[in-house]
Chain A
Amino acid sequence: MSLQLVNVSCWHGKMCVVSEVSFHIAAGEHVALVGGNGSGKSTLMRSILGLHRAYHGQILLHGKADVPRADLHDRFRSIAYMPQRQTTGHFPLLVRELLASSRQLAASQLAAERLNVWQLAARPLHTLSGGQLQRVFLARAIGMLAGEAKLLLADEPTAALDFGGQAEIAQVLADLPVATLVITHDRAVMSRCDRVFEMAGGCLREV
């Protein structure tokens, strides 16, 4: 699945936080998105996903135009997403239940075993460390990619990990055979991507 953005601008109220961004990510291509805090990276990613709806321009998934709000849950199923805020939620949820939300529990379990978190399956998420949570969310995303999802959006997927963990997860991400857009400040992740985009003041340039 490819991802194409055409003149996308995102708004928070009357404030434009992403201005006229256009790019294309081919199927299987890995792209890093870097930039300072508040430069609009996460808002852009949330707009691609459909969580942020205040935008103009076109977001095309595999050439398919933007979907109306009512059909958004279909879009959510076609994108695997690792949120920046690795939430521990308002209500208890077991690691196993989060992994099952990928709709591909076997694949998620396999990924969780590889990422060394499957032994935590019976634990509530709020009892995990930040690094463990990030590994669980990655295992869930990999499970989704084994099903309907063909695009990975990851927002700072290694931020809570130690140096060894950052290199390990960067390699796991690099090995995924799907189009990937990853927001990162981690050189280990950046160096394994095909291209790097930088955002500053809401504008995008390739570096």
Chain B
Amino acid sequence: MTILTFEQFTELLQLLPVQRAVFAILIASVAMPIVGVFIVGLNIMSVRFAMMHVALLGIAIGLLLGLDPTLCGLVLCALAGAATAPLAGRPAGLSGPHGFLMTMAIAAALFVLSLSGVNANGAFELLWGSILATRNSDVVMIAVISLLVLGLYVWQRRSLGLLLFDREIALCSGVNVERLTLILLVVIALAVAASVRLTGALLVDSITLLPALGARNLGTSLSSCVRWAIVLAVVGNLLGFVLTLFFNQPPGPMLVLTVGGLTLLTYLKHRSP
């Protein structure tokens, strides 16, 4: 393992792709942990896997039709999020529909790729993003979706708090639960799909779920959970990125391990609900 000197490290920081990566990490670490808090609050961890596979189907359709694959993935994820919203109120929850969606999406994606004659590895590479390979268009996409997430949180903070606390209490308080759930699931789907492009399919949790899980152990309300999630995401991901550069290792695993380590520490102060 190569360890950089401080001078080499500062030289790396002068590079445009590295600066762009730091910028992308900062933007994503402020907004995406809020999505993680929504996912934890709604108890729909399965949504990540479902949306990753739906994104792959969108990419396959994009490649088949000659359209922007990332955009197709985002649109299809938004539609899939909206399609599952009517099922959110069922006692069984959304894990079943998400499992169904995941299986059908991957099967359909492979079928579409086979039809189009496109090499499947090419499609999978689009999902296997890397923070160091971030393009300007990725930064713009993550910034737009981050604004959407922050806007939703600021606009509907009270209603979201009630919905995450208890669906029926939210209903009885006059919250339009069905509309809010629909918006929430679409935003979650878009955010997961965009994060996949940034950090890679399997590492999306470093900016969404892991900080939220840690925040759930530390927070006493939606607002405090969101604050903790952002702190954990910013500190963990920036620290992970610095370690990535210093030790010349792949960024994805390093980010996840760093944020995961911080999350693990929060369990020392776990307060059972």
Residues of A at the B interface (CB closer than 8 Å) are 49-51, 72-74, 76-77, 79, 81, 83, 87-94, 97-98, 100-103, 123-126
Binds A, one of B76-84, B113-121, B161-169, B184-192: B161-169
Q: Are B166 and A89 in contact, CB atoms less than 8 angstroms apart?
A: yes
How many residue pairs link A and B with beta carbons under 8 A? The number is 81
A-B contact list, 7 entries, CB within 8 Å: A87-B165, A89-B164, A89-B273, A92-B219, A97-B162, A124-B221, A125-B165
Contacts of A91 in B (CB 8 A): 40-41, 161, 164-165, 216, 222, 225
Q: Which of B158, B162, B225 contacts A92 (CB 8 A)?
A: B225
Q: Which of B161, B172, B175, B222 contacts A81 (CB 8 A)?
A: B172
Q: Are B161 and A90 in contact, CB atoms less than 8 angstroms apart?
A: no
What is the CB-to-nearest-CB distance from A2 to chain B, in angstroms, rounded to a whole number?
Answer: 20
Q: Are A90 and B166 in contact, CB atoms less than 8 angstroms apart?
A: yes
Q: Are A94 and B220 in contact, CB atoms less than 8 angstroms apart?
A: yes
Q: Which of B41, B173, B216, B219 contacts A76 (CB 8 A)?
A: B173
Question: Residue among B40, B43, B173 with the most chain A CB within 10 A?
Answer: B173
Q: Are B169 and A87 in contact, CB atoms less than 8 angstroms apart?
A: yes
Q: Are B273 and A88 in contact, CB atoms less than 8 angstroms apart?
A: yes
Q: Are B220 and A101 in contact, CB atoms less than 8 angstroms apart?
A: no
Using A83-B172, A88-B273, A91-B165 as known contacts, list a sample of 12 further A-B pairs with CB atoms less than 8 Å apart, ordered by residue number in A: A72-B171, A73-B177, A76-B172, A77-B174, A87-B168, A91-B225, A92-B222, A92-B225, A98-B169, A101-B173, A124-B220, A124-B221
Q: Which of A73, A83, A126 contacts B174 (CB 8 A)?
A: A73
Task: Please name the residue on chain B nearest to A88 by beta carbon.
Answer: B273
What is the CB-to-nearest-CB distance from B228 to chain A, in angstroms, rounded to a whole number?
Answer: 11
Q: Which of B168, B174, B221 contacts A97 (CB 8 A)?
A: B221
Q: Are A90 and B219 in contact, CB atoms less than 8 angstroms apart?
A: no
What is the CB-to-nearest-CB distance from A106 to chain B, in angstroms, rounded to a whole number?
Answer: 16
Contacts of A94 in B (CB 8 A): 220-221
What is the CB-to-nearest-CB distance from B174 to chain A, in angstroms, rounded to a whole number?
Answer: 4
Q: Are B221 and A93 in contact, CB atoms less than 8 angstroms apart?
A: yes
